Amino acid sequence: MAPVDMVNGAPPPLPGKKRRIGVITSGGDALGMNEIVRAVVRMSIAKGCEAYGIYEGYGIYEGYEGLEGGMLIGTARCKAFTQRPGRLRAAKNMIVNGIDALIICGGDGSLTGADIFRAEWQGLLKELVDTKELAAEQTEPFTHLNIVGLVGSIDNDMSSTDATIGCYSSLIRICEAVDYIDATAFSHQRAFVIEVMGRYCGWLALMAGVSTGADFVFLPEMPPSDDWEKQMCDIISKHRKLGKRKAIVIVAEGARDRFLNKISPTKVKDLLSNDLKLDTRITTLGHVQRGGNACAYDQMLSTLQGVEAVDAVLDATPETPTPVIAIIENKIGREPLIEAVKLTHEVAEAIEAKDFDRAMGLRDAEFAEYHSAYMATTATDQPKLMLPKEKARNILLFGQQTERHLSQRLGQLL
Ligand SMILES: Nc1ncnc2c1ncn2[C@@H]1O[C@H](COP(=O)(O)OP(=O)(O)O)[C@@H](O)[C@H]1O
Ligand SMILES: O=P(O)(O)OC[C@H]1O[C@](O)(COP(=O)(O)O)[C@@H](O)[C@@H]1O
């Protein structure tokens, strides 16, 4: 590629190339993001386009030079991009580098930024011309900003898609860690309070609870009842009396009670230590949840969604609403980015407003069902099932069939 001429503008497009597509990974890293870059670059080339990887998230702000081909391009939380002057510089750098389409893989923050960038685009170009930073003829080929979003985040907090890229790899990391902790908890007959990430979203905590059969979980969208301290202690002491040698409590980092007081791992540990006299430890899993290799599901999702993103760039007309690539009931498709961002923000707003029913309503329908399934499979006293009748009956039937088999294995399982 010819070097970028910062004075005269973009390098000439390679002969016969349709578009120059930039790909960015932004916000908290999530496993699968590298596969996104690979897929976007390869698909762009296959479709007769040029591909640029842009370093360090919204690094276009800093004017990082692009690179050809897929590789680790870094991610960042770029403060400057949250302000208009930062986005103005980003717009200029895109034009100067001749990038006429952007594929952005990030969480709700990055996609919010993408949405704002898109909405401001015409104004940014006008300002660049008015302040003589760019000539009108330089901006002309870039009148419409072509953006496509991909959801990369461990949190699985984005509305309009069933799974965010990285969430299943992170869930695997958490479950592996709980398995390791289980072993030492069993040996010492200890209780462990395990804090998992997820910001406002309890998906990782809930799914970890479902998968590992944790004794208790705390989720931001579903604060526990007002007497949660007693409820948790009753359940755990009941499990102990049944012969369970260990106790595992999973606390989402955003967990709050109904009055929005933080439910911290320390608070939970103090209760277990002081009220139940359990030898209790805290493990904060932290950034371990974002490490390791992407699981096959995330590798597959990233590749298929990267391919779809390039197709979406090429299908776009000035009238096409900016899409975010989603997976819904196993089908990859496109959803309106603005709507997805709006709905995602509404969950956090509902939690802040203590409107927990609304927060739950805004999550996928499965969220409440998975919680009921967690309760049904974990509690010793069967709670009232919130599942639709049919599903509840299936679970109970399955329970009857397996009761004898389970009771034989119970000692081992406990
Ligand atoms: N309201 C906003 N306006 C403009 N840019 C934003 C906004 N929110 C986030 N961004 C950009 O997206 C980046 C990543 O957002 P962040 O919330 O940190 O992570 P994530 O995308 O994983 O949710 C930010 O550092 C910033 O550059
Ligand atoms: O990496 P940092 O800056 O410490 O941020 C931690 C946050 O990032 C996450 O791991 C991922 O969140 P995002 O995908 O929104 O960036 C959250 O679960 C957590 O609250």
Question: How does DSSP classify residue 64?
Answer: P
Amino acid making up residue 394:
N
The secondary structure of 171-200 as a DSSP string is: HHHHHHHHHHHHHHHHHHT-EEEEEE--TT
Positive or negative, the Cα torsion across 391, 392, 393, 394? positive
Q: In the prediction, which pLDDT does 413 show?
A: 44
CA of 29 to the centre of ligand 2 (A): 8
User: What b-and-e string marks burial along 311-335, b requiring 16 or more CB atoms within 10 Å of the CB?
Assistant: ebbbebeeeeebbbbbbeeeeeebb
- 235, 242 in Cβ contact below 8 A? no
Q: In the prediction, which pLDDT does 236 show?
A: 96
Task: Give the pair of three-digit tokens for residue 42.
Answer: 């390869």
Domain at 20-164+294-337, CATH from 3.20.20.80, 3.40.50.450, 3.40.50.2300, 3.40.50.720: 3.40.50.450
Residues of CATH 3.40.50.450 domain(s) within the chain?
A: 20-164+294-337
- Confirm or reject: Cβ of 28 under 6 Å from ligand 2: yes
Q: Report how far residue 141's alpha carbon sits from residue 144's, in angstroms, rounded to the nearest whole number.
A: 8
CA of 414 to the centre of ligand 2 (A): 34
Q: Report how far residue 146's alpha carbon sits from residue 179's, in angstroms, rounded to the nearest whole number.
A: 45
Q: In the prediction, which pLDDT does 60 show?
A: 67
Query: 155 an active-site residue?
Result: yes
Tens digit of pLDDT for each residue in 100-126?
A: 999 999 999 999 999 999 999 999 999
Q: Report how far residue 31's alpha carbon sits from residue 297's, in angstroms, rounded to the nearest whole number.
A: 10
What's the number of CA atoms in the CB half-sphere (13 Å) around residue 71? 7
Ligand lying nearest the CA atom of residue 201: 2
Residue nearest to atom 24 of ligand 1 (CA): 77
Phi, psi at 390, each rounded to 5°: -60, -45
- Residues (pLDDT < 70) of the chain are 1-15, 59-72, 380-414
Tens digit of pLDDT for each residue in 155-185?
A: 999 999 999 999 999 999 999 999 999 999 9
| Pocket probe mutation, ligand 1, options 29, 58, 62, 81, max atoms within 8 Å of Cβ | 81
CA of 105 to the centre of ligand 1 (A): 11
Q: Report how far residue 360's alpha carbon sits from residue 323's, in angstroms, rounded to the nearest whole number.
A: 25
Q: Report how far residue 257's alpha carbon sits from residue 302's, in angstroms, rounded to the nearest whole number.
A: 36
Q: Report how far residue 272's alpha carbon sits from residue 50's, in angstroms, rounded to the nearest whole number.
A: 58
Ligand lying nearest the CA atom of residue 174: 2
Q: In the prediction, which pLDDT does 2 show?
A: 37
Q: Report how far residue 372's alpha carbon sits from residue 376's, in angstroms, rounded to the nearest whole number.
A: 6
* SS3 label, residue 371: helix
CA 256 from chain centre, in angstroms, equals 20
| Active-site position among 29, 108, 115, 155 | 155
Q: Report how far residue 257's alpha carbon sits from residue 226's, in angstroms, rounded to the nearest whole number.
A: 7
CA distance to 19, 32, 322, per residue, from 25 (Å): 19, 10, 18
- Confirm or reject: Cβ of 106 under 6 Å from ligand 2: no
Residue nearest to atom 9 of ligand 1 (CA): 109
Does the model's ipTM exceed the 0.85 cut?
A: yes
Class at the top of the CATH hierarchy for domain 168-289: alpha beta
Q: In the prediction, which pLDDT does 76 show?
A: 81
- Nearest ligand 2 atom to alpha carbon 28: 16
Residues of CATH 3.40.50.460 domain(s) within the chain?
A: 168-289
Label the pairing between strands 331-336 and 323-328: antiparallel
CA of 190 to the centre of ligand 1 (A): 40
Q: Report how far residue 247's alpha carbon sits from residue 169's, in angstroms, rounded to the nearest whole number.
A: 25
Q: In the prediction, which pLDDT does 394 show?
A: 44
- Confirm or reject: Cβ of 166 under 6 Å from ligand 2: no
Q: Decide: residue 187, CB within 10 A, 0-12 exposed, 13-18 middle, 19+ buried.
A: exposed
Q: In the prediction, which pLDDT does 318 show?
A: 85
Q: What is the pTM of this model?
A: 0.88
Phi, psi at 70, each rounded to 5°: -95, 135
| Pocket probe mutation, ligand 2, options 155, 156, 169, max atoms within 8 Å of Cβ | 155
CA of 203 to the centre of ligand 2 (A): 14
Q: Report how far residue 141's alpha carbon sits from residue 146's, in angstroms, rounded to the nearest whole number.
A: 12
Ligand lying nearest the CA atom of residue 284: 2
Residue nearest to atom 12 of ligand 2 (CA): 28
Q: In the prediction, which pLDDT does 361 show?
A: 87
